[in-house]
Amino acid sequence: MSSSTRQLQVLDTEYSADSVEWCPISGYQDVMVCGTYQLAQQESQPPSDTPDESGTTAVPQTRLGRLLCYHLLTEDAVHLSEFQRTDLPAILDMKWCHNSLNEYPGLGIADAKGSLSVWTLQGRQDSENDDAGRSRSLTQQCKVQIVEEGLVLSLDWSTGRQQSSEPAVITSDSQGQLTLCQVSHTATGTNIISQWKAHDFEAWICAFNYWEPTTVYSGGDDCKLKGWDTRTPCTHPTFVSKAHDMGVVSIHSNCHQEHRLATGSYDEHVLLWDTRNMRRAVADVHVGGGVWRLKWHHLNKDLLLAACMHNGFHILDVSKLTDGNPTVVASYMEHQSLAYGVDWCKQTMSSAQMSASSATPGKPLLASCSFYDHSLQLWEWLS
């Protein structure tokens, strides 16, 4: 391994943590959100009449969640400071819109009660001191019911390359459906445009092709990767791939290089694709542990971040695809539980800020979270 990583901070999220997203909007790039998911038994209700898999009567459970909001401080030591927490249904996925919504950063949240909600981040664009966090707030603007009985498992925005005042959002759910929505220019309303059955079991993941946002990809527990043209009724996929041997749970389009797509699966493999030919992947790397999330770097088209469940977090270099498969250039193995949420920090700190902090000048900052140990960690890649 050509480089290492260094832990900067560890926080206890209390509930199990599964999602981490840094804000991409200029002036707010020091803001990070973490989503949590906690199963709790409803003690006040009598047991269900339906036996569980063991044959015993099941106790009803509720899925609790919490939205945790932080901003990055650089005085004395680089660290995250919490500025808001909001109790919600369990959070399965979150994504920031790549452009502002009605002049503010917009956040989409997929939850365990079958809803997609859209939030906006308001407050001063200043990260120089702790007062900036106190002046900020994430506020829910609208919510739409995606599925009556089930969980919304993932979402993506259409704005990776094409800015829009009324962006589209795609969601996937536990009923195997995909739902295409459109957010109003004021972010105060969300309309369902279309909905279709995409997979036989859970549709774990969905993603736009950022270069052609009428194209959507999905992955399911049926081990299939599929493509869809949202200009059509979506009664049939544009392609079906069985390249993965287990459930497909992560997909991300590269907004800096056309035709490049990454997918990950419970089968512990990351596949790289040329979207002009989805019959066969152009590269395959075994990273171990089940690939829950993939994140292309926000500036470097050749860096890919992978959350690998039972095998930590890895940074892949895909710059030499013509000479071979991607290589793992760094790993972060400090988490003691399922590695789920991870993201690159988009904030660029000044030399003065870096020299006054514990971080190494010029080194990328990242945040990650793990499930059962409810741990959120800030770290840097010593590239």
Q: Indicate the pLDDT class of residue 60, thresholds 50, 70 and 90.
A: low
pLDDT reported for residue 132? 56
Kindly report the number of other CB atoms within 10 A of residue 195's CB atom.
17
**Are the C-beta atoms of residues 214 and 194 closer than 8 Å to each other?**
no
Beta-carbon-side half-sphere exposure of residue 236 (alpha carbons within 13 Å): 2
Q: Indicate the pLDDT class of residue 44, thresholds 50, 70 and 90.
A: low
**Are the C-beta atoms of residues 36 and 62 closer than 8 Å to each other?**
no
pLDDT reported for residue 3? 66
φ and ψ at residue 134, rounded to 5 degrees: -70, -25
Question: Domain coordinates of the chain in residue numbers?
Answer: 4-33+62-382
Q: What is the mean pLDDT of residues 97-115?
A: 97
Q: What is the mean pLDDT of residues 202-218?
A: 98
Q: Residue 356, class by beta-carbon neighbours within 10 Å (0-12 exposed, 13-18 middle, 19+ buried)?
A: middle
Instruction: Round to whole Å and give the CA distance between 57 and 251.
Output: 38
Q: What is the pLDDT of residues 132-176, one digit of tens each?
A: 556 899 999 999 999 999 999 999 999 999 999 999 999 999 999
Q: Indicate the pLDDT class of residue 244, thresholds 50, 70 and 90.
A: very high
Q: Indicate the pLDDT class of residue 55, thresholds 50, 70 and 90.
A: very low
**Are the C-beta atoms of residues 305 and 295 closer than 8 Å to each other?**
yes
Q: What is the pLDDT of residues 301-323, one digit of tens each?
A: 999 999 999 999 999 999 987 67
The four Cα atoms 130, 132, 133, 138 give a dihedral, to 10 degrees, of: 180
Q: What is the pLDDT of residues 171-193, one digit of tens each?
A: 999 999 999 999 999 999 999 99
- Cα radius of gyration rounded to whole Å, the chain: 20
Instruction: Round to whole Å and give the CA distance between 364 and 289.
Output: 24
Which of 73-77, 165-169, 238-242 comes out lowest in average pLDDT? 73-77
pLDDT reported for residue 216? 98
Instruction: Round to whole Å and give the CA distance between 316 and 305.
Output: 6
Q: Which CATH superfamily is domain 4-33+62-382 in?
A: YVTN repeat-like/Quinoprotein amine dehydrogenase (2.130.10.10)
**Are the C-beta atoms of residues 354 and 320 closer than 8 Å to each other?**
no
